[in-house]
Amino acid sequence: MGTGEFRRRYERKSYHSDVIFSLKGYAFAGTLKDISMGGAFVLTLSVNQVQKGDVITINIPFTSGTKTVKRRARVLWTSGEGFAVEFF
């Protein structure tokens, strides 16, 4: 890889779905922009509540909409519109 290049470990998929995430006992709404086996990007109006290094729990709906999966994740970075997480 050359300077400025970054290779992701897992391929990202577009996944526009409403989600609920919790942080420090509070629940917040967001929208999943994309997802991979290793992480996701969440669009949210509550981005000012989240900081790099925070651990959240996120409920991700299956594409069928009938079930959800709950995952813990660490916030890697934030932007004005949302934040990126790494699942663990």
**Cα–Cα distance, 38 to 58 (Å, whole number):** 14
**Cα–Cα distance, 68 to 45 (Å, whole number):** 22
Q: 75-85 pLDDT, tens per residue?
A: 999 999 999 99
**Cα–Cα distance, 82 to 32 (Å, whole number):** 10
CATH number for the segment(s) 13-87:
2.40.10.220
pTM of the model: 0.86
Q: 31-86 pLDDT, tens per residue?
A: 999 999 999 999 999 999 999 999 999 999 988 878 999 999 999 999 999 999 99
Q: What tokens does 74 get?
A: 């660490």
- CA contacts within 13 A on the Cβ side of 19: 30
